[in-house]
A and B are shown apart, each in its own frame.
Chain A
Amino acid sequence: MKREDLIKLLLSKMGRSIVRIEEMPNNDIIMEIYTDDLVPIMVSMKKDEDLRFTTLMNQLGVDYGESFAVIYNLYSFDLDNKLTVKVYMDKDNPEVDSVEHIFRGVNWFERETYDLLGIRFKGHGNLERLLLPPDWEGHPLRKDYVYPEVYNGLELKRKTLLEE
């Protein structure tokens, strides 16, 4: 399917939830939607006969300074379509609905996003740190993250020769 056609189709199907939709490099489409509509949109993405975005290829969180965003890369094996879905959320309370019950493979992606960016996923079964130790403080991929100097009595800050 051509990108223009897909954009038209998406606008006709879920136009009310879409904030912004435009073409993206690499033959991709980026679609920004309202945060509250994430779950219904993902359900119809997967179930709709014309879209059939059966798999979620990638998920990531971004810290935009004043707000956070979560990005989902969807792919349709049957129709060979790509789509990037983006939701923004408040910096003070970064929280979004989990889509784990729709795409089960997203489980670890959401855990990783929570671990590295501190975005909470409502309805996720096991939202714990994945890559970092359970007692780590802070979320390293945030732009205002300060690297700790000591972790469990371990000196983390490496001194250069000049500083010594």
Chain B
Amino acid sequence: MAHFLTEEMILNMGPHHPSTHGVLRFILQTDGEMMRRAVPDIGFLHRGIEKIAELVPYQSFMPFTDRIDYLASACCNLGYAVTVERLAGIEIPEKADYLRIIAAELTRIGSHLIGLGALLLDLGAVTPFVHALRERETFNDLMEALCGARLTHNYVRIGGVSHDEPPSFREKTRKFIDHIENEFIDEFNELASFNTIFINRMVNVGVISPEQAIEHCLVGPNLRGSGVKYDVRKNDPYSIYDRLDFDVPVGHGKFGTLGDCYDRYWVRVEEVRESCRIIRQALDQMPESGAIRTKLTRAFKPPKGEIYVRTECPRGEMGFYLISDGGASPYRLKIRTGSFTSMAIISEVSQGVMVADLVAIIGSFDIVAPEVDR
């Protein structure tokens, strides 16, 4: 038997590769189609947002939070606003609270639509992605009606929200969530989620056990996909989430092993339904009129202190560690994002899978590059 002299191939995937969401780079060690490991190389989108925070006043930092995760800007806004309000002890009007929740949950739906669609796009199914974008268009219209922006909303402000609801906003939102809940998700599942090829691609790939997920600090849907029932909205409620009734979907090995790519995918599909439920309740409970903003002084200075607030973003927990020295801008602001730890686990999960599986794994984590780099 002759011995072939083989050697491992070093492949450079990215920064401009069709399936790296944003600007990511992976260095792959492959043996033909099989992969020894994939080492992520990040930092291409590092904009120094934490440094910027130390240079600008508290209110002026709000637009920068949009850019942490541009697919879910209202959620990032909300996290930062809650952090500063809790440190400074600012009470906000009730209506503003509801408007915030509606904006954040709409954003979660919009973000998950892109995440699910992009995963399928990476696996070669183009049509579900376009269908998902079609629904996201309605979300964009709703947010535009609400605050005038379609991507970087900058809607939540410290002390409230920027705009009151426009006329007929409630009916339009109700129509949108009814459509998503009753028609779109079922249609999407028929088209994509229950497709045999898709299931075969996702099941038993990139398995993360619950212990491993906790060990590697995974958060959000990626943690819940491994079967850990933990959601900041439930376990450590902020804003008015404690008044709303919703479930926390967790993975349970729907078609294969617990914690595989399909579980993470399915958790996101279920979360869209839960978000619809939350929005419907918030729309019912929201007062018809009222103040939407507590007026702050222009040179707003919170008291001296430290605070760590966690909020639930579409890509997992977004934590803001804020240190204030009593000045006009934060002394130090650390933003802990969900994609950051998801990205770190990839080199571990990707050992011994195929190149095509890596694409599925990246997609199932729903990584957004600017959130990793900040």
Chain A residues near B (Cβ < 8 Å): 24-28, 30, 54-58, 60, 62-63, 71, 73, 77, 80, 82, 84, 103-108, 116, 129-133, 140-141
Whether B217 contacts A130 by the Cβ 8 Å rule is no
Hey, what's the 0/1 contact readout for B295-336 against A, CB within 8 Å counting as 1?
A: 000000000011111100000010101010000000110101
CA distance A54 to B42 in the complex (A): 27
Per the 8 Å Cβ criterion, residues 27-80 of B in contact with A are 42-43, 46, 48, 50-51, 54
Knowing A25-B86, A58-B308, say if A106 contacts B217 (CB, 8 Å). yes
A/B interface sample: 24 pairs, CB < 8 A: A25-B86, A25-B306, A25-B307, A26-B86, A26-B309, A57-B310, A57-B317, A57-B336, A58-B308, A58-B321, A60-B321, A62-B323, A62-B332, A77-B214, A80-B235, A84-B306, A105-B217, A130-B42, A131-B42, A131-B43, A132-B43, A140-B51, A141-B50, A141-B51
CA distance A82 to B336 in the complex (A): 16
CA distance A80 to B334 in the complex (A): 22
> In the complex, what residue of chain A is closest to B303 when comparing beta carbons?
A25
Residues from chain B with a CB closer than 8 A to the CB of A104 are: 215-216
Residues from chain B with a CB closer than 8 A to the CB of A77 are: 214, 228, 230
Task: Report the minimum CB–CB distance from A125 to chain B (whole Å).
Answer: 12
Q: How many Cβ-Cβ contacts under 8 Å join chain A to chain B?
A: 90
Residues from chain B with a CB closer than 8 A to the CB of A82 are: 236, 308
Task: Report the minimum CB–CB distance from B334 to chain A (whole Å).
Answer: 4
Hey, what's the 0/1 contact readout for B219-235 against A, CB within 8 Å counting as 1?
A: 10000000010100001
B373 at the binding interface (Cβ < 8 Å): yes
Task: Report the minimum CB–CB distance from B219 to chain A (whole Å).
Answer: 8
CA distance A82 to B345 in the complex (A): 24
Residues from chain B with a CB closer than 8 A to the CB of A105 are: 215-218, 341, 344-345
B353 at the binding interface (Cβ < 8 Å): no
Partner of A55, one of B42, B48, B50, B214: B214
B147 at the binding interface (Cβ < 8 Å): no
Residues from chain B with a CB closer than 8 A to the CB of A56 are: 217
> In the complex, what residue of chain B is closest to A133 when comparing beta carbons?
B43
Residues from chain B with a CB closer than 8 A to the CB of A107 are: 344
Chain B residues near A (Cβ < 8 Å): 42-43, 46, 48, 50-51, 54, 86-87, 214-219, 228, 230, 235-236, 305-310, 317, 319, 321, 323, 331-332, 334, 336, 340-341, 343-345, 373-374
Whether A130 contacts B43 by the Cβ 8 Å rule is yes
Task: Report the minimum CB–CB distance from A29 to chain B (whole Å).
Answer: 11
Whether A58 contacts B336 by the Cβ 8 Å rule is yes
Whether B334 contacts A60 by the Cβ 8 Å rule is yes
A82-B236, A106-B217, A116-B50 known, 14 other contacts, Cβ within 8 Å: A24-B306, A24-B308, A26-B308, A58-B319, A58-B334, A60-B321, A60-B332, A62-B323, A84-B308, A105-B341, A105-B344, A105-B345, A129-B43, A140-B48
CA distance A96 to B48 in the complex (A): 24
CA distance A77 to B309 in the complex (A): 16
CA distance A77 to B343 in the complex (A): 22
Knowing A26-B307, A62-B332, say if A131 contacts B321 (CB, 8 Å). no
Task: Report the minimum CB–CB distance from A122 to chain B (whole Å).
Answer: 20
Residues from chain A with a CB closer than 8 A to the CB of B236 are: 27, 80, 82
